[in-house]
A and B are shown apart, each in its own frame.
Chain A
């Protein structure tokens, strides 16, 4: 298996710079009601190039993608696919007919349908197939084989796949149609490292054959690795465009935020720690097995400790979090430091253990309810006055966290859907902070969250740990594992493959362990 270091491997440069632009976007603007999502965005995508678009949440990236995909029509400006004449009125159908395919940020699959049906979703008419079934099967297995080392059977229901595999199906949906321009909107955030590396190979080949890829990601490592050109969006405007190597990461961040105050390092000073982690035990597991036949896990979390959980998708890190939040495991038990056994999530919460789930939209948000209620749902007892629930009290409690987490919101009575993804996530984190937990469990909390919001969250975690809160965080971002954690447990096939202390943490070392390799010493082999 080819293990490509995801953060630093040099990309094959695609050369040919003066190629004619394949796609030209000129000064497009789009408003939704009173909100100006895009003010003026221009960019040119050349054939053979990976064109990254970066910007904070709310900078207009997703709106731009929806305009390119034909989901929305621009209020002003033009979008031309230069090789073909303008396809009349833009619609998702006409845009796809012109060869532009989009993989959206959300994992959009039809759970009850098979892998094959999901990959070819939307291609068939009501009564007729556009491609024969045998051709569909051949093409689907070819593309899935490129993306996944162990592709699922084509007839398996998509609901049985892991998140990463489902996202791979969404990507395959675009790839089987042989796109001229492929738009990947945060499509890598749900992928495990191996699949992502395979996707990058596919992307490079697509570009080498004259196509182009528009790539959106919050992970600077991926941008570094893949992008030939980077356009920065800020507040709905394209503010800068750099060729590969022209801008440092700091320069990009400065362009994205419009200031450089966020570029100050978040790396924790190792000297300031040490003492804090020698505190009392908050949580421990005894002979915990995450799957039948897995090695038992005896894990202890001390006060003030920040522990990372890492590994390829579905290797047990999620199951450990579930066990720690009281939702059970195959065998063994979980107890608090004072030996209270945790038999249910209710037990765990009563013992001061709060869990921030992974999927914000499906597992955390109440879309029709107000921001303040989304915040207060787990601690409603505190909002009771004379037996009645007081919205005002809930909003007042939320106000305590608005400045600390730098949540940007209008009125707490607005529906939660009025906020951008990063701010929604902050409200969800505040929900659990409001319970004043002794242990905070987080499941990939920075997935799809912009850099500014990430740093706000890192600062918060540091403060919590300095106050003696124990934190266990599953993360798919190597950088945050390396920079933030006191130790990282690497999972493989349902067991803890390795426990890496802070002093030995490195992105390369972690990835090697994901695949069952040893630590730094295996470099010699």
Chain B
């Protein structure tokens, strides 16, 4: 290991005066996502001052609802990226959840509770298979989850004979609507649900032993095994959680759009991943779900401003891509890499 990085007060004797301003800024960036928060604030201000009706209660609520969808799409992905994988089957879980909730409740007249139980159970199981297979057979999760995605989509097409029918239960439309109040408070229930998911994930990842196992496995799987961490279990459960979160989001998307189809989930793959990366979670177990929450808010505000300024969908995609490149390039500049020889 290189001897270039030493703790203050190490063998070198005299303690340096303290970290430089730049080093302090970098530390703040690592801990609080200074750059992202600043960008979020500035974008919002820009929108509020230049786009009509940008900062009204309704507009803010609808941005929060969009961000909630995006943030939920990035939730499972955050877990999977932290453990060192990637989950390309999230869109299939979303489409599957949406189609099943519509078809089971609308066409087959199941109760919503039964349909939700079946969807979540299946999502957990299929997600677990993703994680188990990629760890057991040492196949990159990208490949395994692409395969899973293809299988789920194919299965749904077969089952629905290409045309999904039915409608999601009406209460789901209420839950996901911008205008609904939660227990009399003027916040949409979906946003409250997102906040609950964020708190649960935040606490689980940061403050529970299973959550820390995710980081340890992602930071160095070999060392984790030597430290008696059951890494296969960690992978299996992490991907199961990603599947579950995809299933939940699918049910909500089904409620929001009223019905399902097999391409419904597609936009969530890139955008969810973008929220994770722009938020600052990177491979090698750096990051947490709070960062993804910020990323989702940032991307939503950006989209809203761009739409307000009349930019097309194509422009937005280009700007998203550029943003990802910028963030990734920024992280690639961390001095550690340079000193790793």
Q: Chain A residues in contact with chain B, CB under 8 A?
A: 32-37, 56-63, 66, 71, 104-106, 108, 235-236, 345-346, 349, 355, 357, 360-369, 373, 377-378, 380-381, 384, 387-390, 408-410, 414, 417-421, 423-424, 431, 448, 452
1/0 contact string of B228-264 vs chain A (CB within 8 Å): 1110000000000000000000000000000000000
Assuming A34-B20, A362-B222, what are 5 further A-B pairs, CB within 8 angstroms? A32-B4, A59-B11, A63-B4, A368-B286, A377-B227
Q: Are B16 and A410 in contact (CB under 8 A)?
A: no
Q: Are A384 and B284 in contact (CB under 8 A)?
A: no
Q: What's the Cα separation between A389 and B18 when bound, in Å?
A: 30
List A contacts of B285 (CB < 8 A). Answer: 366, 368-369
List B contacts of A414 (CB < 8 A). Answer: 7
Binds A, one of B66-74, B141-149, B204-212: B204-212
Binds A, one of B130-138, B176-184, B319-327, B333-341: B333-341
List A contacts of B222 (CB < 8 A). Answer: 362-363
Given the interface pairs A366-B223, A368-B284, the reply to whether A421 lies near B3 with Cβ below 8 Å is yes
7 contacts between A and B (CB under 8 A): A32-B339, A34-B20, A61-B3, A66-B4, A104-B341, A408-B10, A419-B7
Given the interface pairs A34-B20, A36-B16, A420-B11, the reply to whether A368 lies near B4 with Cβ below 8 Å is no
Q: Are A58 and B11 in contact (CB under 8 A)?
A: yes
Q: Are A424 and B1 in contact (CB under 8 A)?
A: yes
Q: Are B223 and A33 in contact (CB under 8 A)?
A: no
Tell me which of B208, B229, B284 contacts A377 (CB under 8 A): B229
Query: Is B5 an interface residue when CB atoms closer than 8 A count as contact?
Result: yes
Q: A380's closest neighbor in chain B, by CB?
A: B209
Measured between C-beta atoms, what is the minimum distance from B312 to chain A in Å? Answer: 39
Tell me which of A62, A71, A355 contacts B226 (CB under 8 A): A355
Q: Are B12 and A58 in contact (CB under 8 A)?
A: yes
Q: B82's closest neighbor in chain A, by CB?
A: A368
Q: Are B223 and A57 in contact (CB under 8 A)?
A: no
Q: Are B215 and A58 in contact (CB under 8 A)?
A: no
Q: What's the Cα separation between A417 and B220 when bound, in Å?
A: 13
Interface residue range, chain B: 35 or more
Query: Is B37 an interface residue when CB atoms closer than 8 A count as contact?
Result: no
Q: Are A387 and B208 in contact (CB under 8 A)?
A: yes
Q: What's the Cα separation between A118 and B223 when bound, in Å?
A: 26
Total contacts A-B at CB 8 Å: 156
Q: Are B7 and A368 in contact (CB under 8 A)?
A: no
List A contacts of B2 (CB < 8 A). Answer: 62-63, 66
Q: Are B8 and A410 in contact (CB under 8 A)?
A: yes
Q: A350's closest neighbor in chain B, by CB?
A: B228
Q: What's the Cα separation between A384 and B227 when bound, in Å?
A: 18
Given the interface pairs A56-B11, A235-B12, A367-B219, the reply to whether A35 lies near B6 with Cβ below 8 Å is yes
Tell me which of A34, A62, A361 contacts B18 (CB under 8 A): A34
Q: Are A364 and B18 in contact (CB under 8 A)?
A: no
Given the interface pairs A32-B339, A377-B229, the reply to whether A421 lies near B20 with Cβ below 8 Å is no
Q: Are A57 and B3 in contact (CB under 8 A)?
A: yes
List A contacts of B203 (CB < 8 A). Answer: 388
Q: What's the Cα separation between A369 and B215 when bound, in Å?
A: 8
Tell me which of A104, A235, A364, A367 contacts B284 (CB under 8 A): A367
Query: Is B310 an interface residue when CB atoms closer than 8 A count as contact?
Result: no
Given the interface pairs A33-B335, A56-B11, A58-B11, the reply to whether A417 lies near B207 with Cβ below 8 Å is no
Q: Are B11 and A408 in contact (CB under 8 A)?
A: yes
List A contacts of B23 (CB < 8 A). Answer: 33-34
Q: Are A35 and B226 in contact (CB under 8 A)?
A: no
Query: Is B330 an interface residue when CB atoms closer than 8 A count as contact?
Result: no
Query: Is B170 an interface residue when CB atoms closer than 8 A count as contact?
Result: no
Measured between C-beta atoms, what is the minimum distance from A384 to chain B in Å? Answer: 7
Q: A387's closest neighbor in chain B, by CB?
A: B208
List B contacts of A34 (CB < 8 A). Answer: 8, 16-20, 23
Q: Are B209 and A389 in contact (CB under 8 A)?
A: yes
Given the interface pairs A33-B335, A34-B20, the reply to whether A366 lies near B4 with Cβ below 8 Å is no
Q: What's the Cα separation between A59 and B10 when bound, in Å?
A: 10
Q: Are A369 and B339 in contact (CB under 8 A)?
A: no
> Most A CB atoms within 10 A — which of B222, B226, B230, B284?
B226
Q: A359's closest neighbor in chain B, by CB?
A: B222
> Most B CB atoms within 10 A — which of A36, A58, A362?
A58
List A contacts of B226 (CB < 8 A). Answer: 345, 355, 357, 363-364
Q: Which 3 A-B pairs have the closest CB atoms?
A: A366-B219, A34-B16, A421-B1
